[in-house]
Structure 1
Amino acid sequence: MSSEEKRTWISALVGFVVPFAYFAITLSKVAGADVTTIDYVRPMLTAIGVGIGAGIVLSIVAAVVSPKDADRTDERDREINRRGEYVGFYVMSIAATVPLILTMADAEHFWIAHALYLAFVLAALASAAVKIVAYRRGW
């Protein structure tokens, strides 16, 4: 497994686990509550920070475990990365219409922020999924 594929798996794992935990905790407070009273800004920023930090730390650990592969990328890795980012861009472009529509409908900031965060998460997961499939099935 190349270092780029390891980083992709790390990105997919962190990109799923951290937002899942955040949404599970935050959205459990929605039932029967006024969303304007739910404190979501600090927890969301914390989740974003934890996701970035965990991705960096786990990528460093993966590089330390197999140092000879840490900086090796070839044309195949670059093409897989390009294709994955391409798909992620389109997923983000489509998913970003939801927060835009919510804004136009004067929805609460709580829902707009969560729709935008979910759009970023979906784009990252779609990008990682495309990359993993390309690595696993061959390029």
Structure 2
Amino acid sequence: MTHLEKRAWIRLVVSVLAYAAYVVVVLRRADGGPLPDVPYTAALLWTIGGAIAATIAAEIGMAIVNPRASRVQDARDREIGRFGDHVGQAFVVIGAVAAMLMAMAGWDRFWIANVVYLCFVLSAVLAGIAKVVAYRRSLPEW
């Protein structure tokens, strides 16, 4: 497994776990009440910050465990990186458009913030899956 494939796995797993933790915290705080009344901002910021810190720590740990691993990128690595980024980028756009439409319709900030966060997570997850599949199999033929 290449260094970049390990990195894709780390980011994929951390994204899923961080979002799951956020959802659990928000649902527990709701305690059956309406979701827009839940204080979500701190949980959202902490899970995003925690995901960033966990990703950095895991990548440092990976480098410590295997310090001689090559970090050289070849043409295939660059192409897989571009492919994964393109796959994931669609959800960033979807999230931005959805947030814009929700704001124009006067939706509560809770829903707007959460749709943006969900789309960022979906972007990271789909990009990670695309990269891992491309490393395991091959890039799709266009």
TM-score (norm. length: structure 1)? 0.91
2:5 corresponds in structure 1 to 5
Is 1:113 the counterpart of 2:117? The answer is no
Check conservation: 1:63, 1:70, Cα contact below 8 A: no
Is 1:69 the counterpart of 2:69? The answer is yes
Shift of 1:32: 4.2
Moved over 4 A (4+): none
Distance in 1, matches of 2:102 and 2:20, equals: 22
Q: Which runs of 5+ in 2 are unaligned?
A: none
Distance in 1, matches of 2:2 and 2:119, equals: 28
Q: Percent identity?
A: 37
Is 1:125 the counterpart of 2:97? The answer is no
Q: Structure 1 residues 105, 31: CA separation in 2 closer, same or farther (over 3 Å shift)?
A: farther
Shift of 1:27: 3.0
Q: Which amino acid in the other structure matches residue 56 of structure 2? A: I
Shift of 1:50: 0.1
Shift of 1:52: 0.2
Shift of 1:63: 1.1
Distance in 2, matches of 1:49 and 1:10, equals: 15
Distance in 1, matches of 2:62 and 2:75, equals: 21
Deviations 1:9-30 (Å, cap 9, x if unpaired)?
0000001001111012203444
Distance in 1, matches of 2:89 and 2:56, equals: 22
Distance in 2, matches of 1:42 and 1:68, equals: 39
Indicate the RMSD between aligned Cα atoms, in angstroms.
1.6
Distance in 2, matches of 1:24 and 1:96, equals: 24
Q: Which amino acid in the other structure matches residue 109 of structure 1? A: R
TM-score (norm. length: structure 2)? 0.89
